Structure 1
Amino acid sequence: MINLNGTILDSSATAVENNRGFLFGDAVFETVKIVNNTILFSEEHYFRLMASMRICRMEIPMNFTLEFFEEQILNVAVASNVQDCGRARITFFRDSDGFYTPTDNKVGFVIAAQEVSHKEYVFTDSFYEIELYKDFYVSKHLLSTLKTNNKMINVTGSIFAKENDYHNCILLNDDKNVVEALNGNVFMKSGTTIITPPIADGCLNGIMRKQLITLINKMDGFECIEKSISPFDLQKSDELFISNVMVGIQPITKYRKKVFETVFSKQLITILNANITN
């Protein structure tokens, strides 16, 4: 392996050079939040990871149980001194030789952990503007719903947002319908109905998305449905917000000429925190 200066690196570099996650994006991952030495939504993360590995035809180790999953992540969290309030990413890659066709489907995994600022999800209604990202589109198929290392559309979209002073962007699918934000699922409030794109439209099968759908449908007077969203629907809505496990709920305050309220987002994040602590 040679670096950009033409210097030949030592053989230890082959650990990266031969990693299929690095070479082909042949990897799936989960990012979890850790609070008081406990992984939030641990079971949901574990089963989504298992489902992703099966879809990608990876061989799941017999010893990789839910308990083993939790133990490995928390061991790294303790070693990194972030067990009280942290985030960890566990990445499974196909640990195999071969070009596009692997010689076998055995896997390896790596875990990295770092500190985060808040144990509870924090509500903020500070200015948060979004725009559509239309350079590339999300395909409506099962792989789009997984957390894989193939995130180039999210990377290029984030660069577009940064260059144009937006806080986030909305991704569209081949039908030009709303799929998700660059870093989470999208929810749209219209009256007493909260709408989020269906998995069939290509959105990530988000852990927080699932939690919020359940919580909203338990709230008096509100209903959450999964339905395709047109970009034109966004400006007609009362409220927009983004969900992911690390942030919880991120209210959107502006999209083009429309300024949104954040009342429901604030109410929902209070309920979310209450459910986590109980």
Structure 2
Amino acid sequence: MINFNGELLTQTPTALENNRAFLYGDAVFETVRVLDGRVIFAEDHYFRLMASMRVLRMEIPMNFTMEYMEEQIIALTATLGSAAARARLTFYRNSGGFYLPTDNNTQFIITAQPLDQNLYVLNQAPYEVDLYKDFHVSRQLLSTLKSTNRLIQVTGSIYAHENGLNNCLVLNDAKNVAEALQGNLFMFMGNVLTTPPLTDGCLNGIMRKQVLALAQKIEGIEVKEASISPFELQKADELFITNVINGIQPVTKYRKKEFKNTIATELVKRLNAKIRFS
């Protein structure tokens, strides 16, 4: 079952041959976590979606308020019979034109799947990463958007699978580490927690924003947004990857270096406390 423009349907009614999301990647999306009839971090997701649509010159439907977005997502996830769910909301431009659209109005579709865990759980299983060097992200505004053009993530995930890795770290055009394939990267070294700035081309992640705010409240830790060189990774005490579905994923190994997860553990506790009482 899906939600198509506010109507629950059993199948997608649009034809792929005319769909601009399929033809040109002309779409943006939000992947959200739902718990007990609430969209977690709904305001952040909504405003990121609105900002992305404005950057891409998409017309935002007048009725698409934050409240409406939440209602549509909850109506769909309620059919799953699960307290926790993952939902994806995709907005795409109407059919017409080639690279130049003939219509900037939009439609949306929501899909959802149940999740096994209600709250975030720290995965302490071995989690190995390496650099993905075949392609890089550009230091530009488009790289920070959650668009449907995710070919670096697709080809990088194939590379990781073929090489027995759990994830890969992606470089930008300045050869600094911008992000991971499936989330934002944080590095803890000494007493400093660092994540790449948006100007380095990383995704403007919802969980990235939450972790930055939570970490600033931990006594004795300096939090900063700064470029990360690949050479710094092996000097770090901890590396972890963040996204809104998995929360905080500690990296246990990068090449020959193995890492602790002390800060990641503390941040997961604080993250779950925020979700419970928000």
Q: TM-score range by the shorter chain?
A: over 0.9
Distance (Å, rounded) in 1 between the aligned partners of 2:30 and 2:14: 25
Q: Does structure 1 residue 63 correspond to structure 2 residue 94?
A: no
Q: Does 1:54 align with 2:54?
A: yes
- The aligned counterpart of 1:97 is 96
Aligned twin of 1:111: 110
Q: Is the 8 A contact 1:96 1:105 kept in 2?
A: no
Please give the alpha-carbon distance, in whole angstroms, between the structure 1 residues aligned to 2:216 and 2:272: 16
CA distance in structure 1 between the aligned counterparts of 2:13 and 2:224, rounded to whole angstroms:
49
Is the alpha carbon distance of 1:262 and 1:14 closer, same or farther for their aligned partners in structure 2, counting shifts above 3 Å? closer
Alignment gaps of 5+ in structure 1 = 1-11
- In structure 2, distance between residues paired with 1:54 and 1:78: 30
- The residue that corresponds to 2:9 in the other structure is none
* SS of the residue 2:57 aligns to: coil
Listed as ranges, the matches of 1:20-99 within 5 Å are 20-82=20-82, 84-99=83-98
Match of 2:215 in 1: 216
Amino acid at match of 2:134: D
Q: 1:120–1:43: structure 2 CA closer, same or farther, 3 Å change rule? A: same
Alpha-carbon offset, residue 46 of structure 1: 0.3
Cross-structure match for 1:7: none
Residues in 2 aligned to 1:16 and 1:29: alpha-carbon distance in whole angstroms: 17
SS in 2 for 1:175: coil
Give the superposed CA RMSD. 1.1
Report if the CA contact (8 A) 1:96-1:106 is conserved.
no
Q: Does 1:136 align with 2:155?
A: no
Cα deviation for residue 95 of structure 1 reads 1.1
CA distance in 2, matches of 1:168, 1:90: 24
- Of 72-81 and 224-233, more deviation after overlay is shown by 72-81
- The aligned length equals 266
**Is 1:237 equivalent to 2:233 in the alignment?**
no
TM-score (normalised: structure 2): 0.94
The CA distance in 1 between the partners of 2:78 and 2:123, in whole Å, is 30
- Between 73-82 and 125-134, the greater mean CA deviation after superposition: 73-82
Structure 2 residue identity aligned to 1:40: I
Measured against aligned partners, the alpha-carbon deviations of 1:208-256 in whole angstroms (never above 9, x if no partner) come to: 0000000000111112100000000000010000000000000000001
Q: Give the aligned partner of residue 273 of structure 1.
A: 272
Runs of 4+ in 1 over 4 A off after TM superposition: none
SS at match of 2:15: helix
Greater Cα offset, 95-104 or 244-253: 95-104
Compute the displacement of 1:81 (Å).
3.1
Find the residue that maps to 1:218 and give its secondary structure: coil
- TM-score, with normalisation over the residues of structure 1? 0.94
Say whether the 8 Å CA contact 1:35–1:86 is kept in structure 2.
Answer: yes
2:8 maps to none
CA distance in 1, matches of 2:229, 2:200: 11
SS at match of 1:187: strand
- 2:265 match: secondary structure: helix
CA distance in 1, matches of 2:20, 2:148: 10
AA paired with 1:199? L
Percent of counterpart pairs with the same letter? 58
Query: Per-residue deviation at 1:14?
Result: 6.5
